[in-house]
């Protein structure tokens, strides 16, 4: 029966080990826990019989581990079990062999030390009351030898062992026990001048831990483990969800840890504006219009009385290419009819002007009104000034640059001579582009090319006050931007006569 019970316990230990071996965690074992332990093992007796065979033992223990915040923990336990002691070979006329069953009930204490997360060596001391049932297989041959009928004794047990923590609730234990009995009749004999009986135990056991109470608090954050969603991580008590027992390293869940988050309880909006500070910017440009209603959230509204509710600064309200700061009529588009086109105001179609040279021998020619461009006439004693000069981008400038090609100098020199010959006129230099590039890039290049032509004219001795230079970007295409030919036509500079 004992042999079968031992096999069953061993199989149970191995099955439990295999099932739980993947659940080892890094908790502090046993503190404020009760463990239930079942064990089996072997015994070796030292009695008045010179020969001792290996016996069997079985043991059960209930142990409470006092709550501790150090690597040491103290356990108080109650246990009970039975041991088998046997012997043979005595020659003093006593029964030649015996087998004793010892039934024990004891109280003890253990000192445990957390060596590693899953290794806990321990030492234990225990006092047991034992009841002895001796079975002697023959009667004494010596009439002076009498069998001891006292069935009780006191046993002092010293035990050393090691716990292997498989999981939070399960551990496998191994120990060696040294049992000092206060009597000499485990074997049923009490021979004078011999030492008290003694036996050694070798124990293998399995423990199951039970959380003692709902108020257990492993992480010492003041929240009982039964209510703590993170029993092994202390709550940070930062005012955000402090009742769940879990530290919130990123309260608002925006991916910016609270230690670097200026607004730990408000999620960053990641709108491309100051996204590293952790704060949502509801009005990026600070113009008083919330970003959700602001079509230009990163540019302040100019509040000039024109479309002020959209949140966008309107630098050119009437879209005539003349910035409002230079536009005398910011809400009315310039007509660009070659008459005062730089003031930004719509006006009437101008009349072409014919300038006469003061020669008495030539007949007087009356001025004529026309809306057509007037080309210079050769072999005439009158100098006719065109209403505009056209400079193609491809033949005038390096590609994508405001640098004027040397091959364009001759044409520019001819234009300069005609303008110099009529010092009383005002001219507007307009830079135009296709739509290749961002609006900013297109506007910048058109402005740079207009200024380059202005500088060239000034270098030829024409006063800079003769000109207004402006970049109009791609706002006034001469052809479609959908074809290469059309885009080439749109890249141009026009010098327009204003008056």
pLDDT digits (tens, 9 = 90+) for 12-28: 444 444 443 433 333 45
| pLDDT higher at 31 or 230 | 230
| pLDDT higher at 468 or 275 | 468
* Distance in angstroms (rounded) separating the CA atoms of residues 220 and 201: 39
* Distance in angstroms (rounded) separating the CA atoms of residues 71 and 121: 11
Question: According to the per-residue pLDDT averaged within each range, which of 27-41, 270-284, 407-421 is highest?
Answer: 407-421
Question: According to the per-residue pLDDT averaged within each range, which of 31-40, 353-362, 370-379 is highest?
Answer: 31-40
Contact 58, 40 (CB under 8 A): yes
Q: What confidence score (pLDDT) does residue 135 get?
A: 80
Q: What confidence score (pLDDT) does residue 56 get?
A: 95
Topology of domain 2-211, per CATH?
Answer: Porin (2.40.160)
**Mean pLDDT score, 205-232:** 77
Indicate the pLDDT class of residue 8, thresholds 50, 70 and 90: very low
Give pLDDT tens digits for 423-433: 888 999 999 99
Q: Look at 106-115, 119-128, 133-142, 443-452 and tell me which has the smallest mean pLDDT.
A: 133-142
pLDDT higher than 70, residue 223: yes
Domain definitions of the chain by residue range: 2-211, 372-497
Topology of domain 372-497, per CATH?
Answer: 60s Ribosomal Protein L30; Chain: A; (3.30.1330)
pLDDT higher than 60, residue 144: no
Q: What confidence score (pLDDT) does residue 261 get?
A: 80
Q: What confidence score (pLDDT) does residue 26 get?
A: 39
pLDDT higher than 90, residue 247: no
Dihedral sign (CA 311, 316, 321, 326): negative
Q: What confidence score (pLDDT) does residue 218 get?
A: 72
pLDDT higher than 90, residue 263: no
User: Mean pLDDT over all residues of the chain?
Assistant: 80
Contacts of 440 (CB under 8 A, 6+ apart): none
Q: What confidence score (pLDDT) does residue 18 get?
A: 41
Q: Look at 158-162, 174-178, 180-184, 193-197 and tell me which has the smallest mean pLDDT.
A: 193-197
Q: What confidence score (pLDDT) does residue 5 get?
A: 45
**Mean pLDDT score, 211-239:** 74
* Distance in angstroms (rounded) separating the CA atoms of residues 282 and 266: 12
| Proportion of the chain above pLDDT 90, given as a percent | 35
């Amino acid at each position: 029966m004992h042999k079968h019970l031992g096999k069953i316990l061993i199989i149970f230990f191995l099955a439990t080990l295999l099932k739980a071996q993947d659940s080892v965690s890094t908790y502090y074992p046993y503190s404020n826990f009760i463990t239930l332990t079942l064990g089996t093992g072997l015994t070796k007796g030292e009695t008045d019989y010179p020969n001792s065979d290996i016996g069997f033992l079985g043991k059960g223990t209930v142990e409470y581990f006092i709550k501790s915040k150090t690597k040491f923990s103290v356990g108080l336990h109650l246990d009970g079990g039975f041991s088998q002691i046997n012997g043979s070979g005595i020659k003093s006329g006593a029964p030649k062999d015996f087998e004793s069953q010892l039934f024990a009930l004891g109280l003890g204490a253990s000192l445990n030390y957390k060596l590693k997360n899953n290794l806990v060596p321990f030492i234990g001391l225990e006092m047991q009351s034992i009841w002895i049932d001796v079975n002697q297989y023959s009667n004494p041959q010596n009439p002076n030898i009498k069998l001891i009928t006292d069935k009780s004794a006191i046993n002092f047990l010293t035990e050393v062992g090691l716990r292997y923590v498989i999981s939070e609730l399960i551990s496998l234990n191994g120990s060696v026990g040294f049992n000092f009995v206060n009597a000499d009749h485990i074997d049923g004999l009490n021979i004078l001048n011999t030492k008290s009986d003694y036996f050694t135990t070798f124990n293998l056991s399995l423990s199951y831990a039970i959380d003692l109470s709902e108020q257990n608090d492993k992480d010492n954050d003041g929240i009982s483990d039964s209510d703590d969603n993170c029993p092994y991580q202390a709550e940070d008590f930062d005012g955000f969800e402090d009742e769940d027992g879990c530290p919130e390293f990123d309260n608002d869940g925006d991916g910016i840890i609270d230690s670097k988050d200026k607004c730990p309880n408000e999620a960053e909006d990641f709108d491309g504006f100051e996204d590293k500070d952790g704060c949502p910017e509801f009005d990026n440009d600070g113009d008083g219009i919330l970003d959700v209603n602001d079509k230009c959230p990163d540019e302040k509204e100019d509040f000039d009385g024109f479309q002020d509710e959209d949140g966008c600064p309107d630098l050119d309200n009437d879209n005539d290419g003349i910035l409002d700061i230079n536009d005398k009529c910011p809400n009315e588009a310039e007509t660009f009819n070659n008459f005062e086109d730089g003031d930004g105001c719509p006006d009437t179609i101008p009349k072409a002007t014919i300038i006469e040279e003061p020669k008495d021998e030539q007949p007087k020619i009356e001025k004529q009104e026309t809306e057509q461009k007037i080309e210079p006439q050769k072999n005439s004693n009158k100098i006719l000034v065109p209403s505009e000069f056209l400079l193609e981008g491809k033949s005038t400038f390096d590609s994508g640059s405001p640098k004027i090609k040397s091959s364009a100098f001759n044409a520019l020199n001819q234009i300069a001579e005609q303008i110099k010959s009529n010092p009383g006129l005002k001219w507007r230099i307009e830079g135009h582009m296709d739509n290749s590039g961002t609006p900013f890039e297109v506007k910048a290049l058109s402005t740079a090319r207009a200024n380059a032509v202005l500088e060239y004219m000034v270098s030829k001795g024409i006063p800079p006050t003769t000109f207004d230079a402006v970049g109009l970007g791609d706002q006034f295409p001469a052809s479609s931007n959908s074809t290469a030919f059309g885009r080439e036509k749109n890249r141009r500079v026009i010098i327009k006569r204003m008056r």
